[in-house]
Amino acid sequence: MSIKRVQKKPKLIRLPEGYGPILRPTARETYSLRQQIFELVRATGRIARAKIARTLDISPGSVTALTAELISDGFLREVEETSRETSRGRPPVALELVPDALYVIGVKLSDELHTATLTDFGGNALASASQITTADKKSADELLTETEAIIRKVCKSAKISQKKISAIGVGISGIVNYETGVVAWSPLLEELDTPLGDIFSTYFKTPVCIDNDANVLTLAELWFGAGRALSNFAVITIEHGVGMGFVSDNRLFRGAHSMGLELGHSKVQLDGALCRCGQRGCLEAYLADYALAREASTALITPSSKRQDLNDYLKSLYEMAKLGDQASLKIFKRAGRYLAVALSNIIHLFDPKLIILSGKPMQYEFLYDEEMQIEMRSLALYKSRFDTQIEIQSWGSMVWARGATALALTELTKTIIVEGH
Ligand SMILES: [Zn+2]
């Protein structure tokens, strides 16, 4: 069996300019022509009217009428065509989104570092900001105060007035109902069932969409990364918890209750290790950073007085493993085996084209090396299931906030492009 090498930088196909999912014809069918045209212009970055008509298989007259409408609404504008497809002798004209038509902010709230990115309508990230925070649980009001501070910071950095922000997307760890904006549970919040979406949108006087952090990470790939051209892929995030986002037919899978997929709390062992959720045998209890540290402190002699914080501790464990310390290496290898089990289950359940692994522990290659991938494939049935590619996300810490801007842009597409007409 041949094993595909893990690539640091996902390079699947050459993507066109622009941003947003590149929809397959079947995924477009339910959209109005206005939305289809808008999304095609967005996904290509710059496209001539004739090519829109050919791509969507509609009459040039419809394209002219609908694009005129989108131009007069201030969402599209005419620009010089740069591709070679234009015919000679005619002024080469293409359409693109008007970048300064609208601005959105994406925020990732965490128990370590809040991050925010301000993006224009053209998908350009104009500014980013971060703010160190404490790990203790907070009230909704305290979280609102911290969110306001980072929003003010990113607006100032982009030199854009907060009044010009049309929508805000927020990613937060925990169980979030995307439709209602209610955070059922989050390690950041004191209370259960907090209507954070309502609280934030009332305060900021703008639409605020809230989603699980693994979902916003998946949206970052779907809108701005390798996932743009993929109709079916999964993103696994391993940090304090283990999360998962799944894209099916160019759309984020949300399930019946609009909540995220809880891969971290799927059981891999009956009566197994204790998880943060209070239950036993969850995948997270074997794979998250705290689980690695816990395993290490049980298996290895670690003087408690020299115990550093979690990240430093794992780093030193990794250095020891690299130097050939078998006990340290075993900790990573064991966690890698649990990851192999989880990935083979995902392959069986969802049959994704690509699985993107993300999170700080991905700097420890022992977790996902060839040995892990051999084990993963040996657990998957049938040859057809061997084609799923595994890649490591190489984005920086702003990827979450970037993904959260996609939440805001999705909301705007719904209100101004679809419902506005
Ligand atoms: Zn659990």
pLDDT of residue 19: 87
Lowest mean pLDDT among 2-11, 64-73, 157-166, 327-336: 2-11
pLDDT digits (tens, 9 = 90+) for 36-82: 999 999 999 999 999 999 999 999 999 999 999 999 999 999 998 76
Residues with Cβ < 8 Å from 282, sequence gap 6 or more? 264, 265, 266, 267, 268, 272, 273, 275
Distance 257 CA to ligand 1 centre (A): 19
Distance 237 CA to ligand 1 centre (A): 15
Residue 82, φ and ψ in degrees, nearest 5? -105, -15
CA gap 404, 210 in Å, rounded: 8
Q: How many CB atoms lie within 10 A of CB 375?
A: 18
Instruction: Determine the 3-state secondary structure of 168 from DSSP.
Output: strand
CA gap 278, 263 in Å, rounded: 15
CA gap 44, 39 in Å, rounded: 9
Distance 291 CA to ligand 1 centre (A): 11
pLDDT digits (tens, 9 = 90+) for 70-83: 999 999 999 987 66
Maximum average pLDDT range among 21-35, 122-136, 287-301, 303-317: 122-136
| pTM > 0.85: yes or no | yes
Distance 238 CA to ligand 1 centre (A): 13
CA gap 306, 43 in Å, rounded: 52
Residues with Cβ < 8 Å from 175, sequence gap 6 or more? 183, 184, 185, 186, 212, 259, 260, 262
Q: Which amino acid is at 19?
A: Y
Distance 399 CA to ligand 1 centre (A): 25
Distance 288 CA to ligand 1 centre (A): 11
What proportion of the chain, given as a percentage, has pLDDT over 90?
Answer: 62
Q: Is the pLDDT of residue 417 over 80?
A: yes
Distance 150 CA to ligand 1 centre (A): 31
For the chain, domains (ranges, CATH) are: 11-99 (1.10.10.10), 101-219+399-418 (3.30.420.40), 229-393 (3.30.420.40)
CA gap 334, 336 in Å, rounded: 5
CA gap 400, 345 in Å, rounded: 25
